[in-house]
Amino acid sequence: MALSRAYRQDRAEVVEDFQAHMFAQSQPKPEMIDLISRLKAKYGLKVATVSNEGRELTVHRIKNFNLGVFVDFFISSCFVHIRKPDVDFYQLALDCAQVQPEQTVYIDDRPMFVEVACNLGIRCIHHLSYELTRESLAALDLSLEE
């Protein structure tokens, strides 16, 4: 019995250590948060996040990065039990937002996910840097310039 309890305790500590490590690696992108927040305010946009992250990391980011302040809804594989690049994942996001693909801009740093979204008729931006994404948004008439 003592071995069993020790094993469970050691395993719990490993899980907690791993979780703490993952949370520490997860850092906000303040310039992107500011950009999207300001574009949302200026244009009255709906903002959604779509991700393949686990529940703990998703909840951590929502709470600690104050994403709920400017994000209208979160489509995360841990909540909906489908994953990108499944077409149904993107369709679920469109359905939740009640928009057509051409009314949407999808930003992602993973080329495969961008490609799938583009094939659905969604306007896409392959995020490589803040500046390039800002320029790409401006080219779609989503600029902060007056």
The pLDDT value recorded for residue 16 is 79
> Each residue of 62-81: pLDDT tens digit?
999 999 999 999 999 999 99
Predicted structure pTM score: 0.85
Name the pLDDT band for 22 (thresholds 50, 70, 90).
confident
Could you state, in order of their start, the residue ranges of all structural domains in the chain? Answer: 29-139
- Decide yes or no: CATH 3.90.1420.10 for domain 29-139: no
| Range list of H helices, 26-125 | 30-43, 55-64, 77-80, 87-97, 111-119
